[in-house]
Structure 1
């Protein structure tokens, strides 16, 4: 039997550092391809050499940071090719997850999806009324919560983990659209209402079409 270990103080520090650096990558404070030097990061974010290196390894596993040939780290690129590849992987993983969830999901799954849609509606109203970093982050988390809820009944923890990884990699593009005022909130609301009805009716064809439309709009494609 393999036993899990209890979370240590070092783990907590790494989680906190990762959350802040992840946010700054998403908002463009740390730019694509920017070199990430341990000493400079410690001055900005705190932590020890060990905890910062572990943080960068965690973010590397998420695809937000990558190791360089000089044994350093840099923020991953954000090119058109990157965007197309992330879109491909989001479409493949999230469509598969939703298809399986529609087949296996129970009333509790439907309730999670409906609740996530309601929370997103509230978050979208707030970010339109008061557009700042706080409401942007709340909106982004509500978007993620819906994506997670939609595939939560798929029966595959590995699929859920993979979908979440690629969803996280699309975060920079989604928040850039928000900052540039290019999010079509009216269109999103219409799709969300239609998606709710399709899921409750277990209309797979319509639900998958709406999901694809939403993913493409989510990152401007």
Structure 2
């Protein structure tokens, strides 16, 4: 019994390390994740690696294919479009309900997480995507926006979709158009609309925020895949 907490802590540590490396493109979309190699890399047992990979599969960052083992999830136009539609619907619903039901503590959480996000370093020269500091602050801010919706199931679904979108979001940070985008202004607008209890405008701004990232990815990263992107609105 005494070894269980240590084992659980080790699995959690490996899970977080693997997740960070997948999201920073150390392991590219579609690349294999070999148990033996990862076990050697992290200096731990293959059972710990397997458990960490199963957790990542639950977050849709990893897939387990018959006779092929674990792989980083693939990316595609179709998946991104589907993911964005669901996020606009469900995260928008969570935000609307939070604005209508959230108390002063929720409002303070939205403002404080935005304060941290606004001061986090977005990019670091020579490194792909966004920094780990900014990514964590970004997730915390978006989580705070919808966490007062009153539905644990909705919160869980929103968090799962956010995890799935992280692979795409990191890729969106590599293009010239994304660098020119005023991301801080988009987040500031969301914070102010939520704080001022303006649900219709806040949900609309959230949808625009998600759609901009998706449009940039479809144009710059996934442009060579066949088929135009359907309208989201």
TM-score, structure 1 normalization: 0.87
Matched, 1:22 2:19: yes
Alpha-carbon contact 1:136-1:175 (below 8 Å) kept: no
Q: Per-residue deviation at 1:164?
A: 1.1
Matched, 1:165 2:160: yes
Q: Per-residue deviation at 1:191?
A: 2.6
Q: Per-residue deviation at 1:18?
A: 0.8
Alpha-carbon contact 1:42-1:49 (below 8 Å) kept: yes
Please name the residue that 2:144 is paired with.
Answer: 149
**Map 1:184-203 → 2, pairs under 5 A:** 184=179, 187-203=182-198
- Decide which of 22, 40, 44 is 1:43's aligned counterpart: 40
Q: In 1, Cα distance between the equivalents of 2:11 and 2:101? A: 36
Residues 179-210 of structure 1: CA deviation (Å, up to 9, x unaligned): 33543576323333332332233111111111
Q: In 2, Cα distance between the equivalents of 1:108 and 1:73? A: 41
Which secondary structure state, in structure 2, belongs to the residue aligned with residue 174 of structure 1?
Answer: helix
Residues 25-59 of structure 1: CA deviation (Å, up to 9, x unaligned): 11111111112221011122222021111111111
Q: In 1, Cα distance between the equivalents of 2:180 and 2:187? A: 10
Which secondary structure state, in structure 1, belongs to the residue aligned with residue 178 of structure 2?
Answer: coil
Q: In 1, Cα distance between the equivalents of 2:79 and 2:43? A: 30
Matched, 1:85 2:85: no
Please name the residue that 2:203 is paired with.
Answer: 208
Bigger Cα displacement from structure 2, 102-111 vs 194-203: 194-203
Q: Per-residue deviation at 1:119?
A: 1.2
Please name the residue that 2:117 is paired with.
Answer: 120
TM-score, structure 2 normalization: 0.83
Q: In 1, Cα distance between the equivalents of 2:16 and 2:122? A: 21
Alpha-carbon contact 2:147-2:155 (below 8 Å) kept: yes
Greater helix proportion? 1
Residues 78-105 of structure 1: CA deviation (Å, up to 9, x unaligned): 1112211221222122111101101110
Count of matched residue pairs: 214
Q: Per-residue deviation at 1:148?
A: 0.5
**Structure 1 residues 143 and 89: CA distance shift in structure 2, 3 A:** same
Q: In 2, Cα distance between the equivalents of 1:182 and 1:81? A: 22
Q: In 1, Cα distance between the equivalents of 2:155 and 2:9? A: 23
C-alpha RMSD over aligned residues: 2.3
- Decide which of 55, 66, 70 is 2:67's aligned counterpart: 70
